[in-house]
Amino acid sequence: MADKVITIREALSAALREEMQRDERVFIMGEEVGVWGGTYAVTRGFIDEFGEKRVRDTPISEMVIAGAAVGAAMAGLRPIAEIMTINFAFLALDAIVNHAAKVRYMFNGQFTVPLVIRTTTGGGKQLGATHSHAPEVIFAHFPGLYVGVPGTAYDAKGMLKASIRDDNPVLFVEHSTMLQRRAAVPEDPDFVLPIGKSDVKRRGKDVTIVTYGKGLEWSMTAADTLSKDGIEAEIVDLRWLRPLDLEPVFESFKKTNRCVVVEESLPMFNIGAEVAAQIQQEMFDYMDAPVKRVSAMDIPLPYSREIELMALPSAEKVVAAVKELV
């Protein structure tokens, strides 16, 4: 089957539709997933196609959306629970961290939790401090859970399908400003990508940029600019924050000896901190410079356009960070 150029939104819809057609046990539950068609229109038309049994509108109850999905998964279904945006996942933190991620371990393997929690992340839309978080790193802190953050339509489809087929709980995080991005995506219903594999999105020899999600976009733009100045960046898209696959980062670093980590997280205790620590641990002999981090500023995001953008990472900030290193 051929590839087709589609948006991330379409890729997500296709992944959901194909997996629901493939497996009766897969169903969707969440706020506005049915009649409304999904707040981001990812599940538009699904309620007509699959019916109310499999496309279930819920009350505005994040704790029970996540918790009931855990119970349903333990009891043999394969729920896809939607939390409208990751900002609201804070209300479901206990169900995600204590139950989705832990019931298997705590009861010594008696239970399996084949669950996907889909949600959107990110700032940059003037939604103010409460609605602009990009906190996926918080969830990646906990063993028992996988955290995937696709940056392209290709990855969105392959990673989501993999998440639905996997028997472990996955927090699947989509960036709300990237849903219109296009890429060629396989139409083959058995196209799935492996869980926990990073991907080199651009080859280069001068610096390693480690990123994921929206960071991929800033980094790719930055790389084009840098290339005009004769600096070739290699870009490793982590895709998964857990399992975290740093092998391609280490391979790249052996060649470039320099690294910049780009992410929308807040600057303290973020992915950059983890990557820097691991590079220092594993690649000490290859280091020519300290690892640099580009992230959001250490403040709540404001409403007003100019200062919101000021607080977020950008391609320009990535360019500047790289130029300090090479």
Among 99, 175, 181, 239, binds other proteins (CB under 8 A): 99
112 binds other proteins (CB under 8 A): yes
230 binds other proteins (CB under 8 A): no
Smaller CB separation from other proteins, 25 or 323: 25
The values of phi and psi at residue 131, to 5°, are: -110, 15
Separation CA 109–CA 86 (nearest Å): 28
Stretch that binds other proteins, among 35-43, 97-105, 197-205, 314-322 (CB under 8 A): 97-105
Binding mask 52-91 for other proteins (x = CB under 8 A): -x--x-xx-x-xx-xxxxxxxxxxxx-x------------
Instruction: Tell me the two tokens of residue 8.
Output: 């991330």
Q: How far is the CB of 29 from other proteins (least distance, A)?
A: 8
Read off the DSSP letter of residue 211. Answer: E
Separation CA 306–CA 312 (nearest Å): 10
Among 1, 2, 110, 306, binds other proteins (CB under 8 A): 110
Q: How far is the CB of 81 from other proteins (least distance, A)?
A: 10
131 is known as an active-site residue: yes
Smaller CB separation from other proteins, 109 or 230: 109
209 binds other proteins (CB under 8 A): no
Separation CA 183–CA 8 (nearest Å): 8
105 binds other proteins (CB under 8 A): yes
Instruction: Tell me the two tokens of residue 275.
Output: 């990557």
Catalytic residue among 18, 31, 62, 234: 62
Cα 310 to chain centroid, rounded: 23
103 binds other proteins (CB under 8 A): yes
- The answer to whether the CB of 318 falls within 8 A of the CB of 260 is yes
On the CB side of 314, CA atoms within 13 Å amount to 11
Among 27, 40, 191, 218, binds other proteins (CB under 8 A): 27
Q: How far is the CB of 115 from other proteins (least distance, A)?
A: 10
Separation CA 50–CA 47 (nearest Å): 5
Cβ atoms within 10 Å of 61's Cβ, excluding its own: 13
Smaller CB separation from other proteins, 65 or 160: 65
Q: How far is the CB of 279 from other proteins (least distance, A)?
A: 25
Binding mask 133-172 for other proteins (x = CB under 8 A): ----------xx---------------------xxx----
Residue of 234, 178, 180, 182 lying closest to 211 (CA atoms): 234
The values of phi and psi at residue 35, to 5°, are: -60, -45
Instruction: Tell me the two tokens of residue 50.
Output: 């699959």
Q: How many residues bind other proteins (CB under 8 A)?
A: 40
